[in-house]
Structure 1
């Protein structure tokens, strides 16, 4: 394993030097820990040595160093980025026209450039999700989120990725890849759960009209279904 030596151009070899063993009760609550030296043997094999109780000060220092080295590097954030954490990136897409693809029995194999409302995307370690907005401008923490008016989505905005290609990384640089993975895959079916679009004849009729360009030059926002969640609550994980 190789890693960059912070503050220099030299690349250092990283090797295991110590191991921490945690002892827990049956309810998984940790009550004790030991630290063990690691000896490197022939052929890259490592041996864990005898342990000693972890010293409180040494443990805190170790955690501090790990947190410092694991912290993301500073980077420029475009105005579309709404929030960044250790395991998630959230961003906003302006209302725009984009191509969509359908491949289902009720609509057939169709593709067209259609209107889209403002959208909020969230790529995280626990999944990929999308939400719709009534606003045309950058949302605020008080902005109400709406159901994504798309097929292949579950409740709470979760996206069914299926065979779509999405980046392995979750960071600001990967935003375009996450968006492409969503829009360039075919919408195949409405998932079970809450209603995604408000239309008297259902979601298939709604998307047929969208594909035929019957809504004019603006996305029909009256078709959006309000969720009981604000952007601020989504960011806070409530």
Structure 2
């Protein structure tokens, strides 16, 4: 299938685009394992025709589309995208349409605390080297990294010794303004979510214990 399979382009003094066919997606149940769409939907292809009695365009009866038909449509849409080439900064670990992962070097920087029952506090502390992962769903995850070598699939990651971070690395962003995109140009905004907002609670008891005294050990 090609773009012209879906629309008719009329030239002349005024350009007009008329629909030729449409794809409808239907929720389905009980499909076999070899069906497309994760067994959740099927798609059908429909032609348009003009109802002379009502002088309007009507969608006609359709036919079910195969997995190959769906893949052809998706490939066509991908080919219509404008390609964009970016030079990758050294701190980028991985990048896709849905996520970006990058490292931030160790640095002494401010850390804000806004804990219930305590006044707002600001301390200047050493932050470790960090691996951050952001996605287009507005989620941010973080881990600590030892050393300064470039990361690989075998690099060992550590729990970040930070508040508001769960034991799986997920960051509780609270009321922070989260970027809607996750491209290279959005890194500073994502880092601001981590470095410029106040920590309020401990999510990972394996890294920090807030306001608790450790039991004395007899020697």
- Which residue number in structure 2 is paired with residue 166 of structure 1? 178
**C-alpha distance in 1 between matches for 2:161 and 2:29:** 47
Matches within 5 A, 1:144-223: 144-191=156-203, 193-197=204-208, 202-203=209-210
Cα distance, 1:60–1:136 mapped onto 2, change above 3 Å = closer
Unaligned runs of 5+ in 2: 1-14, 32-37, 51-55, 213-219
Secondary structure in structure 2 of the residue aligned to 1:190: coil
Residue number in structure 2 paired with 1:33 = 43
TM-score of the aligned structures, taking structure 2 as reference length:
0.70
Distance 1:194 1:148 in 2: 12
Partner residue in 1 for 2:35:
none
**C-alpha deviation, 1:38, in angstroms:** 5.7
Shift of 1:175: 0.9
Whether contact under 8 Å (2:48, 2:57) holds in the other structure is: yes
Larger C-alpha radius of gyration, 1 or 2?
A: 2
Q: Encode CA deviations 1:96-135: one digit per residue, 9 max, x unaligned.
A: 1222111114764211232111100000145210100121
Q: 2:132 aligns with which of 121, 131, 140?
A: 121
Q: Say which of 12, 25, 28 aligns to 1:21.
A: 25
1:79 equivalent in alignment to 2:83: no
CA RMSD of aligned residues (A): 3.3
Aligned with 1:138 (options 150, 162, 177): 150
- Structure 1, unmatched stretches of 5+, are 1-11, 206-238
Paired residue total: 185
TM-score (norm 1): 0.65
Q: Are residues 112 and 23 of structure 1, via their aligned partners in 2, closer, same or farther at CA, if it must alter by over 3 Å?
A: closer
Q: Which has the higher contact order (CA 8 A, sep 6+)?
A: 1
In 2, the alpha carbon distance for the partners of 1:65 and 1:165 equals 36
